[in-house]
Structure 1
């Protein structure tokens, strides 16, 4: 380390950590980045050109590869060897971790939606949660910069839940598929608008990244750099400055402080040698994910900070949330038996349905606050390990049923906003430690009636849209059974809340701890 004189230390190489490292190195600062996972090079390791029929069980997932045999998360998942976590009695929470350079940016769906003005002042509108310490106008220029740097495709729709980007920022979106157009037409009859999804996938070449050529599943990784991940963009660009040094397999244990309680660096464990190292820095940026960053802060207890670092408010670990999730699908008669052609596109949906209920909530016409959107899907996809269970018979007759049904199913994935509640938080389980002797996270999780009513509304809406298309939809499940498990959508947020006062938050508007 003696030949690299850094002043800034970043923990985590995903969306937050890599962006911080890129920005600072471009400004001339020396940055040391610690990543808990292994090194990963998508240009040589991505299985993007492998087909499901080359894999066991037609590429189906298993306990080691939850999202399929060829999923881009080469090391990680709901359960990570040697890294347990616990849940309180009665809580059901899933914690996804991607232990690899680039973190979850190697795996995510690339949906890149701006918060709207509604999102920043939620408490002022409906009395729930807390207002952000800034407004949309403060972030708008930075949204533009990020969309241009990352490479986001989409259009300015004029939808109240989708603020416009500045002219020339967005790349062109891919064309909608036939099933998406049918869904859009059905939703329009109900006064609901479907619009192009904004995704961090290139439709035009950018720098040394190629444009997507619509051939392989994004979830398998992207060796050509079309689908944004930090391992093919921000990290190589930061390294090119000569100002970035990366250490992988570095499990951060705690943040170091001096006798006055001021931060001086971090302590980490080398996962290969299980040896402990102390690294000094003038500035420490924790970007290890919401729950891992909170775990590090809570494990950084000392005489000056007996409840954990930056926890004078008692809010570290609190305000834990995940997106709500539910799914409903059906077979559309008009799509049965149609001619087959390549309908891959960006793999995920080209259109989606943003939240349309702000005015209804302002008029007190809905019994839940905040909102949700629908990610719509359907069409010809790479065959997997199974088909819908409504087929009967055997031999040629069964095969013909499957051929006719191929490409005729559509689905609605609901993703909505959760509000914080006192029963949902994370803490440290002092009775359990990981392989490196670090106390693990313990989760408490509970959905409130607000989220359940949101799910009920969403399922009823999706059912009506499907039935308008001629689909037969059975009885809807109760919201309690339909809603996803906590953490299952892999959108966990909160734990180190930003605010205007150190009395009830962890950081100020700049992300600096009080």
Structure 2
């Protein structure tokens, strides 16, 4: 296939426009560098009338808002999902990993829950604590200045709590708990579980003229038309463009590989334009991969040459290995006290107003790493259906619920807002035998070899999930609730969601000082090609019991500062 080469030479080519790519775009362009951003999906602006789905009613969709088009509902802002037509991936026999991809400007940051947590000091040094996995080559103090900058630039609400491994930051005022959340606080206190105001990157107070303030529509998964919540496009890329940055966007462009010269140094990338199906090449002095942990690993493994026969950056054989996702388990309960509620608008922000950080000492438990808990419930706008399963209530409260006509209408009013839920999100141990590799027999519709996954849970994660369900029941009991469904047993992996379903995957291009055991150094720079950097979740050595986005943003900013410094010193 003939590759059409662009005549431009960029200072930096950034592949991917999510959290890491967006931050790199802002920092590098504002440093005066000419930047190309290559994104696999289309341009996206949630304020554009033709793309806006915020404040639309379910019946405005031909599918009443159901998930037949997108996994989280027809109006969800994530263009993609676990399955994308023409872009398959495979699983090795006996293993499973469900890979979520969001292909659009801003990537998954348009959709995510916006729980914005710093990793704590222990999260960077867990091997020193429990002997499992590896320590990061950097510590909390290396990242703290960048967490501070991210807090101030993007905005995050929360409260000062002085919890040792749950570092405080610079917080906007948090919203007050809603009624069902007050019940969760009551249940948590009875169960001895720590509960604090949540920490979400949603503006409860104006921080600049470009962004509005949350007006409590509770639809952050649709992306915000007033830019009150954090998305990479609205908060990083668009402001960088307005500031006069030299930024060229290449959307609907599927990167095949990083191109290298005879010395093994990167010279640019090749990509397939989805619209004309032609292959193009961009030339650049520095390449920054931010396509997501698995997509960046795929690009590196497909970037084979005489100098990099096993794939770019893979002289250690570690690219794709140590893949790990957060654990996840959930449970629902019926709260009799919340029946027959007066109906009013209590939407709030697009997420919970409270949060349960990890509160126990793993040395006293039969699993090594912690988890946090997220809550759901309330009287938000109903999605497809009306918020509870009548069969569940029939079975567990001994009362016939639902039916037809007036009885159905009466029961909807009676029970609406009385069903709530808890979800645990925990840290699993990064293992070498959980990995992605190139499938030798399968390509996507663009002719690019696809990934094959090898992934299993261990007893560490199963025991953690069992503990989650014990805790769910304790909290629900303290709320005066009736737990719905039966507690899953060992034959069901104690209710663990399939690997990949929590969409927190990291670790495929792990960071380390020893190039024999890692892919990038402490500045996320390839050991094998010093003008290639990775700023997504791939370099994570371990995940922590926290969502990864705030750490991706902080590390991307840190790496971008390093790139500017190295360019000034003519080291790259």
Instruction: State the TM-score, normalizing by the size of structure 1.
Output: 0.95
Distance 1:183 1:115, change over 3 A: same
Of 99, 107, 110, the residue aligned with 2:111 is: 107
Match of 1:226 in 2: 228
Q: Does 1:67 align with 2:39?
A: no
Match of 1:420 in 2: 430
Of 283, 294, 300, the residue aligned with 1:297 is: 300
Of 21, 25, 29, the residue aligned with 1:21 is: 25
- The equivalences for 1:233-312 within 5 A come to 233-240=235-242, 241-312=244-315
* Matched residue SS, 2:22: helix
Cα deviation for residue 376 of structure 1 reads: 0.9
Q: Is the 8 A contact 2:218 2:380 kept in 1?
A: no
Cα deviation for residue 92 of structure 1 reads: 2.1
Cα deviation for residue 468 of structure 1 reads: 1.7
Match of 1:182 in 2: 183
- The equivalences for 1:193-208 within 5 A come to 193-207=194-208, 208=210
Match of 1:172 in 2: 173
**Alignment deviations for residues 406-464 of structure 1 (CA, whole Å, 9 cap, x no partner):** 11111101111111224311000121111111100111110110000000001101111
Match of 2:54 in 1: 48
Cα deviation for residue 3 of structure 1 reads: 8.3
Of 322, 332, 335, the residue aligned with 1:332 is: 335
Structure 1 residue runs of 4 or more that deviate by more than 4 Å after TM superposition: 1-5
Separation in 2, partners of 1:393, 1:436: 50
Q: Is the 8 A contact 1:84 1:440 kept in 2?
A: yes
Match of 1:344 in 2: 347
Which ranges in structure 2 are unaligned for 5 or more consecutive residues?
394-400, 528-572
Q: Is the 8 A contact 2:156 2:200 kept in 1?
A: yes
Separation in 1, partners of 2:89, 2:218: 34
Match of 1:508 in 2: 521
Of 485, 497, 503, the residue aligned with 1:484 is: 497
Cα deviation for residue 282 of structure 1 reads: 1.1
Cα deviation for residue 202 of structure 1 reads: 0.7
Q: Is the 8 A contact 1:161 1:354 kept in 2?
A: no
Separation in 1, partners of 2:82, 2:138: 34
Separation in 1, partners of 2:370, 2:437: 28
What RMSD over aligned residues (CA atoms) do the two structures have, in Å?
1.5
Q: Is the 8 A contact 1:121 1:135 kept in 2?
A: yes
Cα deviation for residue 230 of structure 1 reads: 1.6
Q: Is the 8 A contact 2:6 2:280 kept in 1?
A: no
* Matched residue SS, 2:64: helix
Q: Is the 8 A contact 1:48 1:216 kept in 2?
A: no
Q: Does 1:87 align with 2:97?
A: no
Separation in 2, partners of 1:394, 1:252: 53
Q: Is the 8 A contact 2:325 2:428 kept in 1?
A: yes
Separation in 2, partners of 1:195, 1:212: 20
Q: Is the 8 A contact 2:465 2:494 kept in 1?
A: no
Match of 2:557 in 1: none
Cα deviation for residue 216 of structure 1 reads: 4.3
Match of 1:434 in 2: 444
Cα deviation for residue 163 of structure 1 reads: 0.5
Match of 2:379 in 1: 380
**Alignment deviations for residues 162-200 of structure 1 (CA, whole Å, 9 cap, x no partner):** 1111xxx31111111111111112211232111111111
* Matched residue SS, 1:375: strand
Cα deviation for residue 4 of structure 1 reads: 5.6
Which ranges in structure 1 are unaligned for 5 or more consecutive residues?
none
Separation in 2, partners of 1:192, 1:183: 10
**Alignment deviations for residues 179-230 of structure 1 (CA, whole Å, 9 cap, x no partner):** 1111112211232111111111111123211000002411122111011112
**Alignment deviations for residues 264-312 of structure 1 (CA, whole Å, 9 cap, x no partner):** 1111111112222222211100000000000000001111111111111
Match of 2:101 in 1: 97
Match of 1:443 in 2: 453
Separation in 1, partners of 2:458, 2:468: 16
Of 233-242 and 293-302, the range deviating more from structure 2 = 233-242
Cα deviation for residue 139 of structure 1 reads: 1.0
* Matched residue SS, 1:450: helix
Separation in 2, partners of 1:381, 1:213: 14
Distance 1:371 1:338, change over 3 A: same
Separation in 2, partners of 1:3, 1:495: 33
Separation in 2, partners of 1:294, 1:152: 31
